Amino acid sequence: MRIVVAGVCVSGKTTLVKSLRELGIDAHNVAQEHSVVKNLWNHKNPDILVVLDAHMPAIRQRRIVPWGEERLAVQRGRLCDAYEHADLYIQTDELSKDDIVQSVLEHIGRI
> What is the structure's pLDDT at 111?
47
Say which CATH number the domain at 68 has: 3.40.50.300
Burial of 38 (0-12, 13-18, 19+ CB in 10 A): middle
DSSP string, 19-87: HHHHTT-EEEE--GGG-S-TTGGGGG--SEEEEEE--HHHHHHH---S--HHHHHHHHHHTHHHHHH-S
Query: How many structural domains is the chain composed of?
Result: 1
- Please give the residue range of the domain that contains residue 102: 2-110
- Mean pLDDT (the chain, rounded): 94
> What is the structure's pLDDT at 3?
98
pTM of the model: 0.93
